[in-house]
Structure 1
């Protein structure tokens, strides 16, 4: 299937919301085309060495604002993951032939894994001083995409997570990330507390 592509310095996950301000002429044309055809476009990470091979489609859920000069503010939501097979430069905006893919069957995380991931996720955010997003997490469902989208991590790691075809494997990668981060964050929090206690005037 051929879809329009929007290269961005971002990794979009299925289910995640992505607000966009559309100002370049080619992307204004792309958005109008997608609205007219009621079709999504593909968000793919733009890297220094070129485009990532794995991306995620974004459906336009709302047009928030139209400006007199044609610029738009839109809200999009991640839908399906895809792998780029061939690029197409025949229009002003980039297009690509893509193959869609889902997780492999029988590759889900356990509830215990999901509980551990959620607990460590919020501890990492708290210690890192990152304001936690309100995540409607249902531990009876898969949550790895929601946690990955909210991670304060580098885009390379997020890109790796996007390409994994197993929820259980994504959960293991998340647990490894949390367990690597937490000792440093805990030491930093303890050092900050000691410094504050040392400067306390009785």
Structure 2
């Protein structure tokens, strides 16, 4: 995964030639298109940023941050609702992922980061019905181990791979890799491989918990 060192980014190396700058919200999160993201906004710079997005009905970009570096691919987010406001200007919002973008350059002229971006389009390659069914079944097995159920969205909006990965607390490196893949076929294959890899570990963890829970003594 390519990362951008914020200490080395110039204020505006591209001079705005690539269009309007996108406000960036660096988080230790990977957001997928179509997936909701609740956020608590409390830092002054992000209260300013979200306030502008609300006033202008504009998007902002969610991009994974690790210490002083940013990932090279993120996802735009649309604010769906402000669920709570506080007297000191803090707010709770629900946003939803919209489109993937590639981060080309970081601009630091405002209190919050902005970025020169290019939107990332998918290649037309689609998964087979067998691959889709396999991915759905593995997802169901993972949910069953947690005694959970979840309805799948109808159609392909968002793409199935984003829903399957975005609905589970999975490794962020895996999620970032998935976000960068440019075809649904490759994403579904990657999801299948990942789910098949973690299921044995999840099964063992459940068995250990069950054994531990059955070792109590009655008096």
**TM-score, normalised with respect to structure 2:** 0.82
Task: Give the corresponding residue for 2:130.
Answer: 112
How far the C-alpha of 1:197 sits from its partner, in A, is 7.4
1:171 maps onto 2:188 in alignment? yes
What's the secondary structure of 1:68's corresponding residue? coil
1:28 maps onto 2:47 in alignment? yes
How far the C-alpha of 1:28 sits from its partner, in A, is 0.5
Task: Give the corresponding residue for 2:13.
Answer: none
Rounded Cα–Cα distance in structure 2 between residues aligned with 1:7 and 1:190: 38
Task: Give the corresponding residue for 2:70.
Answer: 51
Structure 1 ranges of 4+ moved more than 6 A: 194-201
Out of 149, 166, 179, the position equivalent to 2:166 is 149
Task: Give the corresponding residue for 1:135.
Answer: 151
The alpha-carbon distance between structure 1 residues 130 and 23, as it changes in their structure 2 partners (threshold 3 A), is farther
1:78 maps onto 2:97 in alignment? yes
1:124 maps onto 2:142 in alignment? yes
How far the C-alpha of 1:188 sits from its partner, in A, is 4.3
How far the C-alpha of 1:103 sits from its partner, in A, is 0.9
How far the C-alpha of 1:96 sits from its partner, in A, is 0.5
Out of 86, 94, 97, the position equivalent to 2:116 is 97
Rounded Cα–Cα distance in structure 1 between residues aligned with 2:142 and 2:197: 10
What's the secondary structure of 2:72's corresponding residue? strand
CA-to-partner distance for each residue in 1:84-139, whole Å, 9 max, x for gaps?
1111111111100100012112x111222111111101212322x2644x33333x
What's the secondary structure of 1:153's corresponding residue? coil
Q: Structure 2: which 5+ runs fail to align?
A: 1-18
Task: Give the corresponding residue for 1:66.
Answer: 85
What's the secondary structure of 1:29's corresponding residue? helix
Out of 167, 179, 198, the position equivalent to 1:162 is 179
Rounded Cα–Cα distance in structure 1 between residues aligned with 2:48 and 2:68: 26
What's the secondary structure of 2:33's corresponding residue? coil
Q: Structure 1: which 5+ runs fail to align?
A: none
